[in-house]
Amino acid sequence: MTSRGGKRMGAGRPKGTNHYGEPTKPVRIPVSKIDRVLRFVREREDMVPLYGNEVPAGFPSPADDYAEGVLDLNTHLVREPTATFFVRARGDSMIGAGIHDGDLLVVDRSLEATNGKVVIVSINGELTVKRLRKAKGRTWLTPENPDYPPIDFHEQDDTHLWGVVTNVVHSL
Amino acid sequence: MTSRGGKRMGAGRPKGTNHYGEPTKPVRIPVSKIDRVLRFVREREDMVPLYGNEVPAGFPSPADDYAEGVLDLNTHLVREPTATFFVRARGDSMIGAGIHDGDLLVVDRSLEATNGKVVIVSINGELTVKRLRKAKGRTWLTPENPDYPPIDFHEQDDTHLWGVVTNVVHSL
DNA sequence: TTTTTGAATAATGTAACAACATTCAAAAGG
DNA sequence: CCTTTTGAATGTTGTTACATTATTCAAAAA
């Protein structure tokens, strides 16, 4: 074929037409986490739409813009990653606080355990969850269930306060 | 100074002494997500230690090995990212199922709404959460609160079943 | 024996590159 | 004059390459 050459002013792929709509940069990732990272950046795996109580216009297409916003559970529930841990709740002594047997408790060790907070305490090597009550110079650990009695609390060898429960994850 | 040269058999940095304990590879990441990705891979932000009810040996140092394992909330609670959304619960009609006013509900639209499942239904443009009961060829939406009556359910113009509630996140 | 020092080697952030994708307009065809 | 074909022009992308840094070891010095 003969050439069809010549100037092509303004030709070429336009900027910003990539998959993400923004520039990318190579970042070194440990191989075991590459899959997870790619899912996060490519499929916005961690951003799940949040709806209120009205059926939104775009419903039920989560691919559309999320009028009510999106939510990342890790960021939402874990404010201080290095100070946070989970504990599996046992028993029904805190049923009144919405804590059921088997629930996953999100515990933040960086929060101050003030009066009224639900806390994780170890007693004789066992972790337990109770509500902290401070009154008249004394401190009590009170269950949220009338079947159980309050416990007088003071830090000692085998009793330690580990953190404040911020969220309860209940599976159905 | 004179040279101190000569063979150095076995010298050099040993393999596997990198920050992650495993090889890395460059992966192209959109610039706005680089911070988030680096936090994830470097500080294992999303991997929070999970403890049972015994005080573990390494406690309270989350930097140590997690005898009870680690947990990533997104992976744990969101099985099908593209079919999942969140709804904020209103009212106390499902208090018996552990669902309180203001709780965050994780809803999976890919699960089958079988008898006994807690489901999200829209009625007249409003989202509501109820337990599905199927019996004698009929389907009911039953609140988990004796103060509320069951509702006869059948899909029609203004009534639609949106998904199955898999988890309830309750804030304290 | 202990300390100093540079060789040896791996890790790491980023530039560079080759392969691919996309768009435009000149040339060809009608 | 309008439509189709085609290669130039340019951006994107996964991966390689590389210069710099970090780490360890043992020969040489003290």
pLDDT digits (tens, 9 = 90+) for A111-123: 998 998 999 888 8
pLDDT digits (tens, 9 = 90+) for A118-166: 998 888 777 888 999 988 888 888 888 777 777 887 777 678 888 899 9
122-141 in chain A: CB under 8 A from chain B: 122, 125-128
pLDDT digits (tens, 9 = 90+) for A34-51: 888 887 777 655 555 656
Query: Residue B84 in 3-state DSSP?
Result: strand
* Residue A33 CA to its chain's centroid (Å): 20
Please indicate, yes or no, whether residues B66 and B86 belong to a single structural domain of this protein. Answer: no
pLDDT digits (tens, 9 = 90+) for B8-40: 667 777 887 888 878 999 999 989 888 888 877
Structure tokens that stand for A156 in this block: 């000692």
Please indicate, yes or no, whether residues B110 and B39 belong to a single structural domain of this protein. Answer: no
Q: Which nucleotides of D are covered by protein (CB under 7 A)?
A: 5-17, 22-29
Domain that holds residue A54: 26-71
CATH number, domain containing residue B124: 2.10.109.10
Please indicate, yes or no, whether residues B86 and B159 belong to a single structural domain of this protein. Answer: yes
Please indicate, yes or no, whether residues A66 and A85 belong to a single structural domain of this protein. Answer: no
Domain termination site, one of A13, A46, A71: A71
Q: Structurally, how many domains does chain B consist of?
A: 2
5-34 in chain B: CB under 8 A from chain A: 20, 22-34
Please report which helix (H) or strand (E) contains residue A71, including its range: strand A70-71
Query: How far is the C-alpha of B162 from the C-alpha of B156, rounded, in Å?
Result: 13
Beta bridge mates, A135? A138
Domain termination site, one of A41, A71, A101: A71
Q: Let me know if residue B85 belongs to a domain.
A: yes
Query: How far is the C-alpha of A104 from the C-alpha of B76, rounded, in Å?
Result: 11
Q: Let me know if residue B126 belongs to a domain.
A: yes
Domain termination site, one of B71, B91, B119: B71
Sign of torsion over alpha carbons A140, A145, A146, A148: negative
Please indicate, yes or no, whether residues B128 and B164 belong to a single structural domain of this protein. Answer: yes
Inter-chain contact B98–A97, Cβ cutoff 8 Å? no
Q: Let me know if residue A10 belongs to a domain.
A: no
Q: Let me know if residue B129 belongs to a domain.
A: yes
Structure tokens that stand for B152 in this block: 């006869």
Name the E strands within B12-146.
24-30, 48-51, 70-71, 84-88, 104-108, 118-123, 126-135, 138-142
Query: How far is the C-alpha of A155 from the C-alpha of A14, rounded, in Å?
Result: 66
Please indicate, yes or no, whether residues A106 and A64 belong to a single structural domain of this protein. Answer: no
pLDDT digits (tens, 9 = 90+) for B127-167: 888 999 988 888 888 888 777 777 887 777 678 888 899 99
Q: Which residue is nearest to nucleotide C28 (CA to C1')?
A: A4
Q: Let me know if residue A12 belongs to a domain.
A: no
Instruction: Identify whether the C-beta of residue B161 lies closer than 8 Å to the C-beta of residue B112.
Output: no
